[in-house]
């Protein structure tokens, strides 16, 4: 993907701070240090040693300690950019063969985003996804999924995103455990991505994803129109295994989400929450932090119980 210039180190001038190996532009820090040091002059009394003068002014010592991290025209090891995004999804679940515990589901997803200089998460359409699933639920605590996804990714010049048509083959398993007033789950997903990059080179990239989540079942009011509502959160790590010509790093995405879900009717369930994720671009130097709202609706022709959206694919990669 093309490298964004918003958080790139300037060729000359422009202050930024290197913090734990990641560059974040903070011109206010450098300017404050410069101004403070200009306002204070070294005492002229000869009996002051330079050490004594520094000890008597601890603020200057702190400023001098910060100063080596705030440099001009230094090439940073990592760069950090912030992009608002949103995820909207509609799922339809339906039974297939009951005696074999087989069911199906079809997901339609739209992801939108802003850019480094645009704080509107709905400014650009990032991708449109169609994702059918075959689901086996013959075990008490385990569910297995096989799926396919068609991702149409749109070009966004302001964020350095090229236009790509991507296909994915997905295998996934979820193990869930009951809690006194909720549940928790562990999920492993293996998927292979097939696409042509911006240079016209065909890429086949396997990816391994691991998710851990918790669902808290909220108290149900006697006359409440909302049924079986929950507060849930999960954290997910994604590792990619591309060719070294495409990307050298195995790290892909770290994602977190917190959301509220509830049954609006016997068959219709809704989700509303927020996502936050950090993704390393293929250049191996720039992290993009996506954050914003996520909403989903799910229609189940034959509901089997409480819906908690454990395998929802809410993200902006």
DSSP sequence for 186-222: EEEEEEEEEEE-TTS-EEEEEEEEEEEEEEEEPPPPT
Q: Do 185 and 177 contact (CB within 8 A), yes or no?
A: yes
Average pLDDT over residues 41-57: 45
Average pLDDT, the chain: 81
| CA–CA gap between residue 279 and residue 274 (Å, rounded) | 17
Which domains are delineated in the chain? 15-72 (no CATH), 81-300 (2.40.160.40)
What pLDDT score does 282 carry? 87
What pLDDT score does 75 carry? 52
Max alpha carbon distance in the chain (Å)? 95
Q: Which residues of 228-241 are buried (b: 16+ CB within 10 A; e: fewer)?
A: bbbbbebebebebe
| CA–CA gap between residue 237 and residue 256 (Å, rounded) | 9
Question: pLDDT tens digit string along 179-212?
Answer: 999 999 999 999 999 999 888 899 999 999 999 9
**277 phi, psi to nearest 5 deg:** -150, 150
3-state SS assignment for residue 248 = coil
Of 38-42, 127-131, 303-307, the range with the lowest mean pLDDT is 38-42
Helix then strand then coil, in percent of the chain rounded to 5, is 10, 55, 35
Q: Which tops the pLDDT comparison, 312 or 133?
A: 133
């Amino acid at each position: 993907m093309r490298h964004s210039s918003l958080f790139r180190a300037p060729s000359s001038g422009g202050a930024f701070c290197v913090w734990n190996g990641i560059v974040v532009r903070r011109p206010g820090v450098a300017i404050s240090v410069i101004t403070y040091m200009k306002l204070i002059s070294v005492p002229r009394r000869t009996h002051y040693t330079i050490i004594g003068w520094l000890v008597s002014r601890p603020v200057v010592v702190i400023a001098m300690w910060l100063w080596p991290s705030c440099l001009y025209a230094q090439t940073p090891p990592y760069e950090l950019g912030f992009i608002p995004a949103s995820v909207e999804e509609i799922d339809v679940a339906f039974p297939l063969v009951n005696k074999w515990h087989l069911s199906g589901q079809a997901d339609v997803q739209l992801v939108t985003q802003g850019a480094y200089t645009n704080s509107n998460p709905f400014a650009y359409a990032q991708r449109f996804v169609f994702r059918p699933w075959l689901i086996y639920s013959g075990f008490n605590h385990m569910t297995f999924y096989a799926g396919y996804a068609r991702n149409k990714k749109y070009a966004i010049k302001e964020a350095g995103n090229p236009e790509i048509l991507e296909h994915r083959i997905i295998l996934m398993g979820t193990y869930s455990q009951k809690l006194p007033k909720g549940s928790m789950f562990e999920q492993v997903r293996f998927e292979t991505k097939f696409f042509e990059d911006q240079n016209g080179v065909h890429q086949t990239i396997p990816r391994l994803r691991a998710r851990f989540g918790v669902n808290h079942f909220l108290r149900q009011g006697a006359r409440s129109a909302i049924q079986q509502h929950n507060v849930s959160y999960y954290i997910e790590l994604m590792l990619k295994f591309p060719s070294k010509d495409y990307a050298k790093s195995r790290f892909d995405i770290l994602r977190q989400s917190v959301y509220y879900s509830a049954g609006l009717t016997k068959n219709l369930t809704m989700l509303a929450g927020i996502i936050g994720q950090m993704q390393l671009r293929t250049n191996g130097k720039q992290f993009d932090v996506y954050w914003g709202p996520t909403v989903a609706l799910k229609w189940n022709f034959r509901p089997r119980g409480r819906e908690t959206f454990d395998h929802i694919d809410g993200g902006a990669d």
